[in-house]
Amino acid sequence: MSEQSSRKCAVVTGASSGIGAATAVRLAEQGYHVVLGARRVDRLERVAEKCGGRAETLDVTDPASVEAFCATVERCDLLVNNAGGALGVDPVASADEDAWLSMYETNVLGTLRMTKALLPRLIASGDGQVITIGSVAGQEPYPGGGGYNAAKHAVTALTKVLRKELLGQPVRVCQIDPGLVRTEFSLVRFGGDAERADKVYEGMTPLSAEDIADCVGWVASRPSHVNVDSMLVLARDQSSAQVVHRTKDA
């Protein structure tokens, strides 16, 4: 426990790459001491160095890992539930049940475990905040999205329930739902197939991880009485989960 308790502390899960890494940097710029969690500790440490934060190994699918991680967090004013992702685009008819389970474990139970573990510290802070990264996929199902859609819809339900259950407590709850963001998301989804991952963003300008970090930073910096419940953020080239404008030669 190395936090100076006079400084606001943010915990960011999945901070070793993409949106989580950019968010850790943004929150540090806004004055937070940041505790970064993910499985790839080497990458996590590089991000922590960049933002002057503290890197701790974390696997949100493992209750013991969540417990050990949270035991190192003395103070928590903001929890960013970002760890997550998709595996595959199988139709329901041939769905890989292990992939569905894994997506549920990471996106839903991971968010649940982190929230449960840190809620007492968020309440004790007197002005806590939970910001969860959902997805347009949690608002709008699409063919091939089944397992990820189901998981992110569950995340949306969890966020809405939490907001209602915490009414009257000094904790705000927000979900940010991005559309296409160029990160390692598609590389993970397609099992490391870079060509297939690149095709997702071909002929259009996707959001960047920093665009979503900006949104987290903005939500986190509203006055304490303002709860931004939800935010759907799409690229100008995307009007819904499945409707994307691409240049003709793409």
Which residue's Cβ lies closest to ligand NDP? 18
By beta-carbon proximity to ligand NDP, the closer residue of 125 and 235 is 235
Using an 8 Å Cβ cutoff, are 106 and 83 in contact? yes
**Residue from 78, 117, 137, 213 binding ligand 8X3 (CB under 6 A):** 137
Cα dist. 107→25, 41, 138 in Å?
Answer: 22, 20, 11
- Total of residues contacting ligand 8X3 (CB under 6 A): 8
**Residue from 8, 10, 11, 17 binding ligand NDP (CB under 6 A):** 17
The contacts found for 14-18 with CB under 8 angstroms, 24 or more apart, are 14/38, 14/60, 14/82, 14/83, 14/84, 15/44, 15/47, 15/48, 15/55, 15/82, 16/40, 16/41, 16/43, 16/44, 16/47, 17/43, 17/183, 17/184, 18/181, 18/183, 18/184, 18/185, 18/209
Taking the CA atoms of 131, 39, 109 and 140 in sequence, report the sign of the dihedral they define: positive
CB of 132 to ligand NDP, least distance (A): 8
Candidate list 32, 104, 148, 201, residue with the active-site label: 148
17 binds, among ligand NDP, ligand 8X3, none (CB under 5 to 8 A by kind): ligand NDP
Residues 83-142 that bind ligand NDP (CB under 6 A): 83-85, 106, 133, 135
Residues at the contact surface with ligand 8X3, assessed by CB under 6 A: 135-137, 145, 148, 179-180, 241
Residues designated catalytic: 148
Residues at the contact surface with ligand NDP, assessed by CB under 6 A: 13-20, 38-40, 58-61, 82-85, 106, 133, 135, 178, 180-181, 183-185, 188, 209
